[in-house]
């Protein structure tokens, strides 16, 4: 059941085709759970401002075990944003979100987080809570998928992917374009930086020139990843696992990111990705990966091995089953 009760497509129809009932339209949740709550075994909630509206109603009308998935610690993300932007309104929002998250954490039967780092923070916030680290993502690909991919020579672009309703992604692109990309263009004057993601604000479209392309939402990412030689995730703040990095690793495109981007993933610097926070060093690593064919293939292979090891379908199913038992 989406909080806005809107049957967003294609997701609603895809879930229904799997035999999953989706509640939307003219639904009174309180009446619904009062009538059907006794039949529910588990309720999985997500997002603080959404979950807080439903949790007490569920607890009152259903014996179901309640799980909450953080996506990321919202208050932590906003505190990091405040550290960069320094706006009092952001600090106020971080404090508001922390109170809500603490309320939720104290009421649910099990907390699920994609990051072991955030699991430690949650354990300190609510010492008696049950916390389980769960992959935010799983992917299965075959050896034939890997063999069919574009070779190094056919790839030309530097790529960024991220939804721009999420402020850390806007900040990341701004920082990359202002502080990092000019240094890359000094060494690689013909390279193109391709920016993908839904809802780019006007300020990002204004960055476009002969070396920067803002594509906005793209339904099929495969052709863009097949043209990409390096994926960048220059995040200066945020929280949780950065799925954009995992998607790039699935496609075998080497990643250059920051310590914030690597948080919870624990990628080995120089082996599975490059992890750098200084803009000059970031530019240097991008150029190094872009121009060194042997290094490119080493990073590509290691990143796919990392995905297979940590984000397989089997691993995800194993942890979901574990969550059911822990409740």
pLDDT one-digit tens code per residue, 303-313: 988 988 888 78
Segment 40-54 shows an average pLDDT of 96
Q: In percent, how much of the chain has pLDDT > 90?
A: 75
* Residue 8 belongs to a domain: no
- CA 111/CA 70 separation, integer angstroms: 8
Give 116-165 pLDDT, tens digit per residue: 888 999 999 988 889 998 877 777 765 545 556 889 999 999 999 999 98
Domain that holds residue 171: 143-310
CATH of the domain at 121: 3.40.50.2000
Give the bridge partners for 275, in sequence order.
Answer: 257
* Residue 204 pLDDT greater than 90, yes or no: yes
Instruction: Indicate whether 148 and 132 sit together in one domain.
Output: no
CB 111 within 8 A of CB 134: no
- CA 31/CA 36 separation, integer angstroms: 9
CB 92 within 8 A of CB 73: no
Output the pLDDT for position 52: 96
Instruction: Indicate whether 169 and 130 sit together in one domain.
Output: no
Instruction: Indicate whether 163 and 257 sit together in one domain.
Output: yes
Q: What is the mean pLDDT of the chain?
A: 92
Segment 43-71 shows an average pLDDT of 95
DSSP state of 39: G
Task: Give me the DSSP letters along 152-179.
Answer: GGG--EEEEE--TTSHHHHHHHHHIIII
Instruction: Indicate whether 267 and 147 sit together in one domain.
Output: yes
User: How many CB atoms are located within 10 Å of the residue 63 CB?
Assistant: 11
Q: Which residue has the tokens 């193109």?
A: 192
Instruction: Indicate whether 294 and 272 sit together in one domain.
Output: yes
């Amino acid at each position: 059941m989406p909080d806005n009760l809107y049957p967003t497509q294609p997701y609603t129809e895809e879930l229904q085709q799997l035999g999953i009932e989706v509640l939307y339209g003219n639904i009174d949740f309180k009446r619904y759970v009062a009538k059907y709550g006794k039949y529910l075994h588990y309720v999985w909630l997500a997002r603080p401002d959404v979950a807080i509206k439903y949790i007490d109603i569920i607890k009152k009308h259903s014996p179901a075990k309640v799980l909450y998935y953080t996506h990321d610690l919202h208050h932590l993300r906003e505190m990091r944003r405040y550290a960069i932007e320094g706006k009092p309104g952001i600090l106020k929002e971080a404090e508001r979100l922390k109170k809500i998250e603490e309320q939720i954490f104290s009421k649910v039967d099990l907390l699920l987080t994609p990051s072991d780092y955030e699991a430690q923070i949650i354990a300190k916030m609510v010492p008696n809570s049950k916390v389980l680290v769960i992959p935010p993502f799983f992917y299965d690909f075959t050896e034939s998928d890997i063999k069919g991919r574009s070779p190094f020579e056919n790839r030309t672009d530097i790529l960024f992917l991220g939804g721009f309703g999420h402020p850390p992604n806007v900040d990341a692109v701004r920082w990359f374009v202002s502080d990092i990309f000019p240094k890359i263009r000094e060494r690689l004057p013909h390279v193109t930086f391709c920016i993908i993601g839904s809802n780019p604000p006007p300020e990002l479209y204004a960055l476009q020139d002969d070396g920067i392309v803002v594509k906005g939402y793209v339904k099929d990412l495969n052709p863009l990843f097949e043209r990409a030689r390096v994926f960048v995730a220059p995040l200066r703040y945020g929280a949780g696992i950065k799925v954009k990095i995992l998607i790039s690793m699935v496609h075998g495109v080497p990643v250059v990111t920051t310590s914030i981007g690597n948080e919870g993933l624990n990628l080995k610097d120089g082996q599975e990705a490059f992890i750098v926070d200084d803009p000059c060093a970031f530019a240097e690593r991008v150029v190094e990966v872009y121009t060194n064919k042997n290094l490119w293939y080493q990073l590509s292979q290691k990143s796919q091995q990392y995905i297979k090891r940590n984000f397989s379908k089997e691993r995800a199913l194993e942890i979901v089953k574990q969550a059911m038992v822990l409740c």
